[in-house]
Amino acid sequence: MDYLIIALQLIVGLSILNVWLVQPKKNTKWRGGNATTITEEFRAYGLPEWSVYVVGFIKVVLAVLLIVAIWVPGLRFYAAIGLAAMLAGSVLMHFKISDPLYKSFPAALFLVLCLIIAFVPGTPL
């Protein structure tokens, strides 16, 4: 089970880092509203521009902590719960603007994975 949790930590952590550091200006079918960038997506949600940077910073830090938690298991619960809370907010934003259900799928999937990471017992390595 420990190796499954480690794999989930890597999948979630690297995926979050990819969205925020590699593809923030890339158009994907998962973006809220008709947005083509993260900044436009937050605008579609009715959020101020500064919130993009605050949310991005928090998600990147939590994603890094989730990966670091492979070697420092005491961080795992807190990083996973923090990301779960942020991802729950993402899902709610999609619902707020009446996005088609599929647009909230990645956030909902990673939310569930974070809850599994947080609550499955065991200490990695």
Q: Check whether 122 has a pLDDT greater than 70.
A: no
The structure's pTM equals 0.93
**What is the chain's mean pLDDT, rounded?**
95
**Confidence at 125, pLDDT banded by 50, 70, 90:** very low
How far apart CA 91 and CA 97 sit, in angstroms, is: 10
Q: Check whether 123 has a pLDDT greater than 70.
A: no
**Confidence at 124, pLDDT banded by 50, 70, 90:** very low
How far apart CA 86 and CA 55 sit, in angstroms, is: 8
What count of other Cβ atoms lies within 10 Å of the Cβ of residue 2? Answer: 13
Burial class (CB in 10 A: 0-12, 13-18, 19+), 103: buried
What's the length of the chain?
125
